[in-house]
Amino acid sequence: MLIFHTISELQTYLRSARKKGLKTGFVPTMGALHKGHVSLLQQAKSYTDITICSIFVNPTQFNDLNDFKKYPVTINADIEKLLGFGTDILFLPSVAEIYPNGTTDLPHFELGFLETVLEGKYRPGHFQGVYQVMNRLLQIVEADDLFMGQKDYQQCMIIQHLIKQENSNTRLHIAPTLREEDGLAMSSRNIRLSDAQRTTAAYIYKALQQMKQQLHQGDLKNIKEAASGLLTYNGFIVDYTELANASTLEPLDNWNGTDPVVALIAAHLGEVRLIDNMVLTH
């Protein structure tokens, strides 16, 4: 595996690869790698000739400085996992490499409705940071294919918006959420949970399943409230339990029985904020 710390070295290598007609697959991460990341890298490996993983904890997408400081950093273990899997390239840039002019005067992007609901509402500025870093990374890597997980449902919609708005030639592939045996979505944040919290965290998946079982045409208020009640009873502080149009993310208070529906949850367990989702209709 080749490790690049600078943009110039990475781009020099990738230009040479492109001249040989080699296709690139890109998996951007913030480290603390788990089986979900590995599944994305496996998909990239099957689709493309060169698999690129980046590890960069992006400061501009954290609206809570403490959350940024506590984000798990496990770089040595991450490198071991990437070596074991056979990843071709690891891009490991510094903040100064990604943001050479600093992070205080970055451009503001028009994200529309997506920036105002759910994660956009509860984490103001978060999606500006996501857009900023992904726009930068896609410009640097110029990958043929980009692989991301469905667990970050709203983020995937932001990236789709970015690719269209920036006229990028990169193709986005969204992989299903990988789960633990008890249903908990795999996440880098899970390692911050205590043993007791880790057991409790599975109630997020149970709440999603409950919303799916209860989904019916008409008023959806009671379904959302019941999911929130289940989580609150088990010790969560709930940001939202929402049912939304799976194509637009417009919250649904009343379902016509035909629109695609996705259930989305964000809740705190102690100091750890967990998110998850489940598409309820096909």
Tens-place pLDDT, residues 126-163? 999 999 999 999 999 999 999 999 999 999 999 999 99
Identify the pLDDT of residue 282: 73
- Domain CATH for 203: 3.30.1300.10
Say whether both 159 and 209 belong to one domain: no
Is residue 25 domain-shared with residue 165, that is, in the same domain? yes
Is 31 one of the annotated binding-site residues? Answer: yes
Q: Do the annotations mark residue 239 as ligand-binding?
A: no
Please indicate, yes or no, whether the overall pTM of this predicted structure exceeds 0.85: yes
Tell whether 180 is covered by a domain.
no
The pLDDT, as a whole number, for residue 121 is: 96
Q: Are residue 139 and residue 211 in the same domain, yes or no?
A: no
Q: What is the predicted pLDDT for the residue at 64?
A: 83
Question: Which residue among 5, 37, 108, 268 is the active-site one?
Answer: 37
What pLDDT score was predicted for residue 70?
87
34 is in an annotated binding site: yes
Report d(CA 107, CA 85) in Å as an integer.
37
Measure the CA–CA gap between 32 and 74, rounded to whole angstroms: 5
Count how many domains the chain has. Answer: 2
The answer, yes or no, to whether residue 23 has pLDDT greater than 80, is: yes
**Could you read off the pLDDT of 100-115 as tens digits, one per residue?**
999 999 999 999 999 9
Say whether 37 is catalytic.
yes
pLDDT of res. 39 = 96
Confidence of residue 271 (pLDDT cuts 50, 70, 90): very high
Q: 33: annotated binding-site residue?
A: yes
Query: Final residue of a domain: which of 175, 196, 231?
Result: 175
Asked which of 141, 175, 209 is the last residue of a domain, the reply is: 175
- Is residue 97 located within the same domain as residue 193? no
115 and 255 both lie in a single domain: no
Q: Looking at the structure, do residues 120 and 253 belong to the same domain, yes or no?
A: no
Q: Could you tell me the pLDDT band of residue 66, with boundaries at 50, 70 and 90?
A: confident
Mean pLDDT, to the nearest integer, of 189-206? 97
Range(s) of the domain holding residue 216: 188-276
Burial level of 46, CB count in 10 A (0-12/13-18/19+)?
Answer: exposed
